[in-house]
Structure 1
Amino acid sequence: MDDALLKRIDRLESRNEILELIAKYCKSCDDRDVPLLRSIFTEDAVVVSQDGMMEGIGRDGIMEMYRKRFEVLAISVHWTHDNIITFDENDPDRATGECFCHAESHRNGQTLVGSLRYDDEYRRTNGVWQFSKRTLKFLYYVPVEEYGEALGSKKRMRAYGDQRVSDYPETFECYNNWARHYEGA
């Protein structure tokens, strides 16, 4: 086989392995499968949320962050929808991605619903794809009884006892300026 074909095969296999990695994240969080969760992060990985409520530096720091979350979470369910994966042209063992997700959870006696995106960095080490960075960005994270009203507000972050402006889409240039593409049409 020529090098170009081998590269294409590697990309296809890697894409499937990264999609499985993303599914393992959901499974490990919802099942509280701590060994599985630990296995999907590189030793030097970072997990943060754009709103600053989550921060885990290094695998041990990430595991401590999730321990604290699991202590207050009852049941949770995460499901991912679409994934955009981009491979590094200069390094076949690195990729980035954007993962679209919904989540439901019960925390401190309150049922919450959320919609978020993960900005990911993936790294293949010893033939295994893992997360090297995961940044959570929330469209909304609200008590279920506030869901309808929250969608009509910029303050869609309501899971922590206050109301905060959401991470997106209002921060996206394209969201704020879409109409200019139709001017004069």
Structure 2
Amino acid sequence: MDTIEERLRAIEDREAIRELTGRYCRLATGGRAEDIVELFTKDGGIELDGTLERGHERLLAVYRESFDAVRPIPTVHNHVVELDGDRATGYCGLELRMVADGEAITAAGHYEDTFERVEGVWKFAHRKLVFYHRVPLSKGWA
């Protein structure tokens, strides 16, 4: 059985990781590409539609381009976090509303994450975004 200190550390780590994903959403809603990049390890990456972009310089370019094209309002939920020392893996569901070219878009999916603790702070090492649907709100997803 784990000690109380180990159990408390696990609770604190899980909460820090949940807060990291929430901070990501808040920064995305504000279009704050520079701040989002700081949530990643130096060689961290994001994967979308089979394309992986890695490192702060590439991530900054990707997020700036994305925020120039769309205004996202993401919400994450249903977190599952598996801890392994200074590394962790996670899953969280995603509901996304955005405006692209003046049109309201609805999307849903999930993130598959790998996290690393860097100098005592949890960061994204890898984020994979899997969409279930991404459609104009006027058309719906059914």
What TM-score range do you get, normalising by the shorter chain?
Answer: over 0.9
Letter in structure 1 aligned against 2:55? G
Task: Find the counterpart in structure 2 of residue 125 from structure 1.
Answer: 118
Q: Which residue of 2 aligns with 1:158?
A: none
Q: Which has the higher contact order (CA 8 A, sep 6+)?
A: 2
Structure with bigger helix share is 1
Correspondence for 2:53 among 45, 52, 56: 56
Asked if 2 retains the 8 angstrom alpha-carbon contact of 1:56 and 1:63, the reply is no
1:145 aligns to what SS in structure 2?
A: coil
Within the alignment, does 1:113 sit opposite 2:106 as a pair?
Answer: yes
TM-score, normalised to structure 1's length? Answer: 0.72
Structure with bigger gyration radius: 1
For 2:54 and 2:132, how far apart are their aligned partners in 1? 24
Post-superposition Cα deviations, 1:88-143, rounded to whole Å, max 9, x if no partner, equal: 2xxx1100000101010001222100001000000000000000000000111101
Could you say what secondary structure the match of 1:12 adopts? helix
Does the 8 Å CA contact 1:24/1:36 hold for their aligned counterparts? no
Contact persistence 1:55–1:62 (CA under 8 A) = no
Query: Is 1:65 the counterpart of 2:65 in the alignment?
Result: no
1:120–1:131 Cα contact (<8 Å) kept? yes
Deviation at 1:38, TM superposition (A): 1.9
- What is the total number of aligned residue pairs between the two structures? 141
Q: What CA RMSD, in Å, does the superposition of the two structures yield over aligned residues? A: 1.4
Per-residue CA deviation, residues 44-103 of structure 1 (Å, 9 max, x unaligned), is 101011x23x54211211111111101111x32111121000112xxx110000010101
Contact 2:34 2:60 in 1 (8 A): no
- Counterpart for residue 19 of structure 1: 18
Could you tell me how far apart the structure 2 residues matched to 1:13 and 1:136 are? 25
| C-alpha distance in structure 2 between counterparts of 1:59 and 1:16, whole Å | 25
The normalised TM-score by structure 2 is: 0.93
Q: How does 1:73-84 map to 2 (within 5 A)?
A: 73=70, 75-84=71-80
Q: Which sections of structure 1, spanning at least 5 residues, go unmatched?
A: 152-185
Tell whether the 8 Å contact from 2:96 to 2:107 is kept in structure 1 after alignment.
Answer: yes
- Give the corresponding residue for 1:140: 133
**Structure 1 runs of 4+ off > 3 angstroms?**
none
Identity over the aligned pairs, expressed in percent?
A: 28
